[in-house]
Chain A
Amino acid sequence: MLTDLLGIPPQVLFGQLLLGLINGAFYAVLSLGLAVIFGLLNIVNFAHGALYMLGAFTTFFLAKYIGVGYWGALILAPLIVGALGILIERFLLRRLTGVDHLYGLLLTFGLALVIEGVFVKMFGASGIPYPTPEALKGGVNLGFMFLPYYRAWVVVASLIVCVATWALFERTKIGAYLRAGTENPQLLQAFGVNVPILTTLAYGYGVALAAFAGVLAAPITQVSPLMGSNLIIVVFAVVVIGGMGSIVGAVVTGLAMGVVEGLTKVFWPEASATVIFLVMAIVLVLRPAGLFGKTA
């Protein structure tokens, strides 16, 4: 086999590939949420990492205080955090209409500091373990590697959510409105569509996506206040690489970057933390608008 020729045992290679795919799934869902928000609000949601963390903490709280397990949290946590997102949009971001979009970035950066600061104060910087759901414990031996069920589930669930989002945007009436709102909000408003509500919903949906990723991450990475703070910077790089043009672009780039990172861990471990930023630099030189971006 090729892997034997390179002197790397297949278990290591496929193990890292799977890990890369899982990271890629998180990048995909998070950058998808950023793209949805960017489309209508024209801001980059710096609080995305903090809201992802809130999704994981909501999962933990649901189990601890109301006894709602993983499957319930998978639905409830995105709804709860999404509702919080709607409040953020209504009462804070809405006030920035007509101001330079950079202020939206600064506002959400401040929010991220506040949210993460409060949780670090209350729970410390270390993680709280969250159990893998009963139904997904264990795994299967595929011959060339051991595949834990939960890890496979994370990839599948992320893909389902991505496809559902794509269908929502490309195949439904509300999706058509959302796309129209991205292209030309004034004209859409003139046609009698309530654009402000659409904007609020888009922000809520993007935030819910972040929270969903947080729920998926809880059993893997532990629940910790700073789990989203470094992740969000990598996701920003992924967004720059893909360009915020399309849903498909966000998903494909997210998964691909996860795999690239995983492969780097096999062949050149020291560079694995920086490889995505390097790819970003190369893409900026060759194709500044991003792989899937439209040149503005």
Chain B
Amino acid sequence: MNTKVGYGIALALLLVAPFLIYPVFLMKLLCFALFACAFNLILGYGGLLSFGHAAFFGGAAYITGHAIKIWGLPTELGLLVGAGSAAALGYLIGLLAIRRQGIYFAMITLALAQMVYFIFTSAGFTGGENGLQGVPRGYALGIFDLQNNLTMYYFVLAVFVIGFLIIARAVHSPFGQILGAIRDNEDRATSLGYDVDRYKHLAFVLSAGLAGLAGATKTVVFQLASLTDVHWHTSGEVVLMTLLGGLGTIAGPVVGAGVIVTLQNYLASGPLGAWVPVVLGTIFVVCVLAFRRGIVGELHALLKKSF
């Protein structure tokens, strides 16, 4: 009951937010929040550290951009094509990566994502260093002009809410419970008769597809897909957002993404612009050493203690 009230308040805030805060900034925040939530599904609930999620985020960003700009698909269909290809890529990468566990899983996803990065660097349609520019935003449902930032914002908010609900549903379903059991004790889950690899693979594909949806939406908002989106720095950033917000908590990644995106925006405009990687790295180190539960995780613990 309490959580439902919480979601209601959060949604109300998001609905009025664009009248108080610059909508483009909010849209960036929502895209990365969805990306982090998708990532949390595989790390927080599945216990698998993927260091290659930029491949899905950036891959979908390029494909959606290409589908809308060159093929002339309507915006919604373009997003679906992007998310679908990210899920397909996730199927392939997952097939290889879940053969190993723990640290190896992280290294394999990182290496395969780097391969995807090289492919996008050399593929003609991505525009190389310039990126894929001038993607038209188009019309939502064929009527609402997305060129208007406010209309675009509500479109992005709708995409975010759909993605978030899919993740929340998955986490609280029997599938999510089994995933958690695998994270906590894989051998036990195997001995109980669960096909562990299939669950991990499915979670990976779902996470990849939703990460793709986030990347695709980002392309529509900024009308641009670039190499930054597929670079491993982006993979690292999403790990940081999730860790900072709180692993394995529903709201954590949203909070983490909010903090990091705000910080990046704030730093980039100030004299500390060139120090962004150093600041992010320092937060990383501090989080790992002293703050492993993350913001939301610590709040939960605090609430439990005081009641």
Contacts and interface: CB of A to CB of B under 8 A. Distances in A.
Interface of A: 38, 42-44, 92, 95-96, 99, 101-103, 105-107, 109-118, 120-121, 230, 233-234, 236-237, 239-240, 270, 273-274, 277-278, 280-281, 284-285, 288
Given A109-B236, A240-B100, 4 more contacts: A103-B292, A113-B281, A117-B277, A233-B111
Nearest to B104: A240
B49 A110 contact: no
Given A113-B236, A117-B281, A270-B122, A102 B111 contact: no
B185 to A, nearest CB: 13
A233 B289 contact: no
Interface stretch (B113-121, B160-168, B198-206): B113-121
Contacts of B45: none
A289 to B, nearest CB: 8
Contact of B288 (A38, A107, A273): A107
Contacts of B1: none
A107 B102 contact: no
Contacts of B104: 240
A114 B282 contact: yes
B257 interface: no
Contacts of A230: 114
B243 interface: yes
A233 B108 CA distance: 9
A43 B289 CA distance: 15
10 contacts: A42-B103, A44-B106, A96-B289, A99-B292, A106-B243, A106-B284, A107-B289, A111-B285, A117-B275, A280-B108
A240 B289 contact: no
Given A103-B292, A281-B96, A239 B277 contact: no
A31 B222 CA distance: 40
B281 A274 contact: no
| 3 closest A-B pairs by CB | A110-B284, A113-B281, A117-B277
A280 B274 contact: no
A273 B114 CA distance: 10
A233 B275 contact: no
Contacts of B115: 274, 277-278
A274 B102 contact: no
B111 A236 contact: yes
Contacts of B153: none
Contacts, number: 116
A111 B281 contact: yes
Interface in B78-117: 96-97, 99-100, 102-104, 106-108, 110-112, 114-115
Nearest to B105: A102
A42 B280 CA distance: 25
A284 B100 contact: yes
B220 to A, nearest CB: 29
Contacts of B277: 113-114, 116-117, 120
Interface centre among A42, A101, A105 (most CB of B within 10 A): A105
A239 B163 CA distance: 36
Contacts of A99: 292
B278 A284 contact: no
Interface centre among A106, A236, A273 (most CB of B within 10 A): A106
A44 B100 CA distance: 14
Interface centre among B103, B282, B284 (most CB of A within 10 A): B103
B41 interface: no
Contact of A114 (B114, B243, B285): B285
B286 to A, nearest CB: 8
B281 A112 contact: yes
Contacts of B110: 233, 236
B239 interface: yes
B62 interface: no
Contacts of A43: 103
A106 to B, nearest CB: 5
Given A274-B115, A277-B114, A278-B115, A106 B288 contact: yes
B232 interface: yes
A244 B177 CA distance: 33
Contacts of B236: 109, 113
Interface string B212-252: 00000000000000000000100010010001000000000
Nearest to A42: B103
B133 to A, nearest CB: 23
B103 A101 contact: yes
A57 to B, nearest CB: 16
A101 B99 CA distance: 18
A151 B288 CA distance: 41
B103 A102 contact: yes
Nearest to B243: A106
Contacts of A281: 96, 112
Contacts of B103: 38, 42-44, 101-102, 105
A42 B102 CA distance: 11
A125 B136 CA distance: 34
Given A113-B278, A285-B96, A106 B119 contact: no
B31 to A, nearest CB: 22
Contacts of B118: 273-274
Contacts of B102: 101-102
B288 A121 contact: no
Interface centre among B276, B284, B288 (most CB of A within 10 A): B288
